[in-house]
Amino acid sequence: MATSIRIRAKAKGDEVTVKSLITHPMETGQRKDKKTGDKIPAHYITEVKCEHNGKTVVTAQWGPAVSKNPYLSYKFAGGKAGDAVKLTWVDNKGKSDSAEAKIK
pTM of the model: 0.90
Residue 15 domain flag: yes
Residue 18 domain flag: yes
CATH number at residue 77: 2.60.40.10
pLDDT tens digits, 17-31? 999 999 999 999 999
Count of domains observed in the chain? 1
Average pLDDT of the residues in 57-86: 96
What's the sign of the alpha-carbon dihedral 39, 41, 42, 44? negative
Residue percentage of the chain with pLDDT more than 70: 98
Give the pLDDT band (50/70/90) at residue 2.
low
Alpha carbon 38 to chain centroid distance?
Answer: 29
Residue 98 has pLDDT above 90, yes or no: yes
Give the pLDDT band (50/70/90) at residue 51.
very high
* Residue type present at position 96: S
pLDDT the model gives residue 65: 94
Residue 64 domain flag: yes
What residues pair up with 6 in beta bridges, in sequence order?
A: 21
What is the rounded distance in angstroms from the CA atom of residue 31 to the CA atom of residue 84? Answer: 39
Residue 1 has pLDDT above 80, yes or no: no
Residue 67 domain flag: yes
Give the pLDDT band (50/70/90) at residue 3.
confident
Per the structure, the complete domain to which residue 82 belongs is given by 5-29+40-102
| Burial class for 58, CB neighbours closer than 10 Å (0-12, 13-18, 19+) | middle
